[in-house]
Structure 1
């Protein structure tokens, strides 16, 4: 996005011609996408922004004017032909535990050095498939499109119950049972609609099968045909589809896995003794370090999500609505399948075209659609009422919280917390039969673009779990506190996985991803980001063929935040926009601290690497660090739990403004605490910010006093504040703060 091309605030001609004086992006390139053509944008910027003299012959006249009331756009774009190729396929692979069984039949039928040994055992879904160039267009039009389609399908099982043959081409194959065949045909039909140019002959019926051997003569085929017997049927789960590929210049190289695409909107959670995951020794390490979420915890979250889905379906359905469709979708940690504190969700209401009569509910929504705030409030109230009616005996509270953005927060009796963001999309010219999901769903498409970038989800899940745990332990986690939030850490891990993990030969390479491989990935993570030029460069998930724009050409979104970790999802927000110079430096020091640790210990043997991975997680949180001299301590309290969470959420949302003021107005360096410290009575909490100046200087600084007062005024402006919501602050020395903590700790021990 190069900015406004019609901009009365900067363009004199636009000021003259505009009645509203509203800046707009009126000029744009429209590119018609073709199935056999991919493209990448190399450069897009505004030109003709200069001003010229009104009277060029009068040197004394300084009046100048723009060339036009519109700025021009300059585009440099690279086009590539995208072709279907027999060297690329979209397939299902049987799980590793079935390989020996399948291989026994292959060895029985398959003569040595048969070309089919170049393929792993598989079931084709689309072959030939698109050649992938690892360009921007591939990710958007192939991988993301495929992943969003597969979100609609849950994992399923395939049962093989027979060995059969295709007489016309001398092929012997394993045949699926009727239920599996029907399931695969439904999936193939959807894939064929989305990738129609990969279908060679639409008149042929799709017959899913797993080829064992193709003979080069009918005579050999006839010799083997009488022995086509499957001794025992078997099943295997399908949790992923795979894109297989082989080089163009080598017919002897076997097909290898270039992408592992998960099924279902929620990834399978990583856990101990998980099949088709990383090496068992690495799983044992994660289990020992308590990095896996317990099965009970995950089931509680899954149960709440399913119950809420059913709850919303009661009022938002085809009987009550004809002109609107709703979706209830997970995002964040729960969607990725790793342990997170909350279940983050989005409730999406989308307007569609319909030939049916309006329902009463439709009429109400149509009346409110012209006032977005009123419509949003109405939906929030409706959801809150529905939740309270359905879960009145199961929840502690359900309320709207004004945090970084408004959310509905639900705390269940078992302490499971679900947060709901409401997104309303109006005036969509789509029918109920069309895909009703908009181009960007809050949190959802951000996650999906990561998943198509990482190639191998199980390894990414393990790396992200490890890195997040380290960041939390050392106090560098939390967007509200000026550090990196969960999504920013996920982008960093996705970047490392894409750069460090190349294509793999087979599924076995994932199961053999051991302590050594994981250590290399972790080491690469910290060395990469310890050396990265965070002061000048953004971190972007560009495909190889995408040329990053130069610093001067970057849109303003790149300049928000002291670190720039750009989301791969339009409009390409900075996922690290909450970082300040102080917190950026602390994060960089955190990376460097790990690099220094690894340089100081042996990392030669597997045991050495295992020990190093443990030591990284055992690094302490150095808040407050040795450079700080004073503390601003906030005390927050309320009489009941639901008010308390809302009160804390509001105060956390104000911290970023205070941090910015401290840096920009006072030029102070500070270290924010990365957690709210709840006290024993649960209705009181403390939060501290450490500064690199002494307490007397802070108290006597007029600029700092003004900044602090602005922060207090913002806190006090909370519209839903009750009399029981208390807030106070004090400025003390580091020594006094530590002494108070010791006293509180000793009191807790006595109790």
Structure 2
């Protein structure tokens, strides 16, 4: 099987008979056997037993919350219209619309999942109005908690909980004075006269709409995606912000496999997913459809024209104009980690097909704190819980840069494995949380057994960038320290004990790092936090 080929921009579209299957003919048109149907029943039962489906009551509450948010943004736009001196008729017609995208729109969200939402408003209501006026309105509402604006993100977003439901709210100002209630966000005209940031905000909804149109069987796609998202979270590789893959990336990968096996059911598609992406020749892109000719002069992914696109390691291209690489965050280190996990998943699926394993084996957790000998510990503290929430979000959004800097300063010889999970030491009297990163020397360097990697300068450069945060407040501090596996803090082990290394699956016992690591004195994070808090009483200024 050959995978990883792609249709160049401007190539003729596929024939009508295969158009729904994407840019190539399917690999197989085979349908399920009786054994496949039995495995599928077992898989779907396991997904239910794992609690991956929300209750009817929670579904109803989500609909209620979306309705409330819709009313809030409509009132917000009418208020701004009135304040800016528009006529009474304009105030009456003023409107904003809430769209959903991501897992909720695709129908694969689970209990407690957030809802990705987009507010589309008129041309005279801008991002500043969104992050100041609407933010202040939400901050005064009792139903709203954990309000966290992230205006500096690649796609600016406001995060909050509304009646306990997590919401990620984006804003897009389009080139219309009045947004009609029947506004069609999938139409190309929506992109006229807007900037690239607004295009990115709009394209979350446009991409979700296209994905559902480009898969042969929506229900089979949803079940398969729900399964693989859960698998990715269990294996620690579900996080766009830290350099792995987020929801839209997994959706696009699954959709492509659905196109390649259009008559397969979920039990078959899960197995084919690992087979396809274990063999995929990156950086050949994953594409659901050909890239259309440029319509409006917007930048599209094209490594022949754009030098930066040639640097992408794992391109997964969105199907809505302008087609973009949704996985530009992936680094060499995180690609290596994901490929290892794809191979592990492929081995388990082969065992399931040979009746040597059950589906539950696929979802065993990844024991990150037993996989490496050396770790970086990134501790964050703040004066109160609200400040820590904002500070943590900023630091997490920059962790990918630390991975890239380490790759750069060690010439790619030191691999990083940033772990998406956060940990908190609840015994502390001040708000605290921490992220961790596994460190491993590149394979094939056996002739350099004694080599050390001194990345103190790299870490200091990262800290300086972190402290340049626009919304920094006194009390927000970050500490980066090296810890060996045996010195990991107790709070990362929720069961209160460390698993013995002999109990780890064989698939996780490879890839140890044997050399010393010269970043800082191991285990020094707690001392640094205490010393820094004492110092802060005298000098509350951020370190520059």
Q: 2:131 aligns with which of 366, 374, 380?
A: 380
Contact 2:301 2:309 (8 Å CA) reproduced = no
Q: Write out per-residue CA displacement over residues 131-190 of structure 1, whole angstroms, 9 at most, x where no aligned residue.
A: x55449x99xxxxxxxxxxxxxxxxxxxxxxxxxxxxxxxxxxxxxxxxxxxxxxxxxxx
Please say if residues 301 and 324 of structure 2, whose CA atoms lie closer than 8 Å, have aligned partners that are also in contact. no
- Structure-2 change in CA distance of 1:473 and 1:319 (3 Å): farther
1:338 aligns with: 108
Q: Does 1:481 align with 2:242?
A: yes
In structure 1, which of residues 336, 341, 349 is the aligned counterpart of residue 121 of structure 2?
349
Aligned counterpart, 2:406 = 662
Of 532, 556, 561, the match for 2:280: 532
Shift of 1:577: 0.9
Match of 1:585 among 304, 328, 336: 336
Could you tell me which residue of structure 2 aligns to residue 621 of structure 1?
366
Give 1:470's aligned residue.
231
Aligned equivalents of 1:732, 1:488: Cα separation in 2: 32
User: Does structure 2 retain, via aligned residues, the 8 Å contact 1:135–1:545?
Assistant: no
1:713 shift after superposition: 0.8
Q: What is the aligned partner in structure 2 of residue 684 from structure 1?
A: 432
**How far off is 1:42 after superposition?**
7.3
Distance 1:433 1:404 in 2: 28
Q: Which residue of 1 aligns with 2:161?
A: 411
What is aligned with 2:213?
452
Is 1:393 paired with 2:138? no
Q: Distance in 2 between matches of 1:433 and 1:410?
A: 25
- After TM superposition, the structure 1 = structure 2 runs for residues 132-143 of structure 1, keeping only pairs within 5 Å, are 132-135=16-19
Separation in structure 1 between the aligned mates of residue 91 and residue 240 of structure 2, nearest angstrom: 38
Alignment counterpart, residue 327 of structure 1, candidates 83, 97, 102: 97
Unaligned stretches of 5+ in structure 1? Answer: 1-40, 45-74, 81-131, 140-277, 352-364, 370-374, 503-512
Q: Which residue of 2 aligns with 1:307?
A: 68
Q: Structure 1 residue 332: deviation in Å? A: 0.9
Give the whole-Å Cα distance in 2 for the aligned partners of 1:433 and 1:343: 21
User: What SS is found at the alignment partner of 1:314?
Assistant: helix
Question: C-alpha distance in 1, partners of 2:349/2:8?
Answer: 40
Deviation at 1:303, TM superposition (A): 2.2
Q: Do 1:398 and 1:411's aligned partners in 2 also have CA atoms closer than 8 Å? A: yes
Q: Could you tell me whether the CA contact under 8 Å between 1:476 and 1:484 is conserved in 2?
A: yes
Shift in Å, 1:477: 1.1
Query: What is the CA–CA distance in structure 2 between the aligned matches of 1:706 and 1:699, rounded to whole Å?
Result: 17
Correspondences of 1:70-81 after superposition (within 5 Å) = none
> Following the alignment from structure 1 to structure 2, what is the Cα–Cα distance between the partners of residues 570 and 292?
32
Whether the 8 Å contact between 2:117 and 2:170 is mirrored in structure 1 is yes
Distance 2:216 2:7 in 1: 24
TM-aligned CA deviation for residue 456 of structure 1: 1.7
Conserved in 1, the CA contact under 8 Å of 2:122 and 2:178? Answer: no
Across the two proteins, how many residue pairs are aligned to each other?
Answer: 437
Q: Say whether 1:671 aligns with 2:417.
A: yes
CA distance in 2, matches of 1:431, 1:743: 49
Alpha-carbon shift at residue 698 of structure 1 (Å): 12
Question: For 1:669, what is the secondary structure of its paired residue?
Answer: strand
TM-score, scaled to structure 1: 0.52
How far 1:688 moved relative to its partner? 0.8
CA distance in 2, matches of 1:321, 1:559: 48
Shift of 1:419: 1.5
CA deviations on 1:404-457 (whole Å, 9 max, x unpaired) are 53211222453x22111111123x599959846414524100111111111221
More strand by share: 1
Moved more, 305-314 or 286-295: 286-295
Q: Check 1:615–1:435 CA distance in 2 against 1; reply closer, same or farther (3 A cut).
A: same
**Closer, same or farther in 2 for the Cα pair 1:300/1:645, shift >3 Å?**
farther
* C-alpha separation in 2, matches of 1:725 and 1:561: 33
Aligned runs of 1:226-245 on 2, under 5 Å? none
The answer to which structure, 1 or 2, has the higher relative contact order (CA under 8 A, 6+ apart) is 2
Distance 1:519 1:379, change over 3 A: closer
Look at both structures and tell me which one has the larger radius of gyration over its CA atoms.
Answer: 1
Task: State the superposition RMSD in angstroms.
Answer: 3.9
Partner residue of 2:386?
642
Indicate conservation of the 8 Å contact 2:40/2:266, yes or no.
Answer: no
CA distance in 1, matches of 2:494, 2:158: 37
Q: 1:78 to 1:677 in 2, by over 3 A?
A: closer
Distance 1:550 1:645 in 2: 34
- Which structure has greater helix proportion? 2
Q: Could you tell me how far apart the structure 2 residues matched to 1:306 and 1:684 are?
A: 35
Higher deviation after alignment, 296-305 or 656-665: 296-305
| Secondary structure at 1:316 match in 2 | helix
**Structure-2 separation of matches of 1:743 and 1:532:** 37
1:724 CA displacement: 2.8
CA drift of 1:737 comes to 1.8
Paired residues of 2:407 and 2:415 also in contact (CA < 8 A): yes
Helix, strand or coil for the counterpart of 1:567? coil
Closer, same or farther: CA 591–305 of 1 in aligned 2, 3 Å: same
Distance 1:323 1:285, change over 3 A: same
The match for 2:25 is none
- In the alignment, what sits opposite 1:597? 348
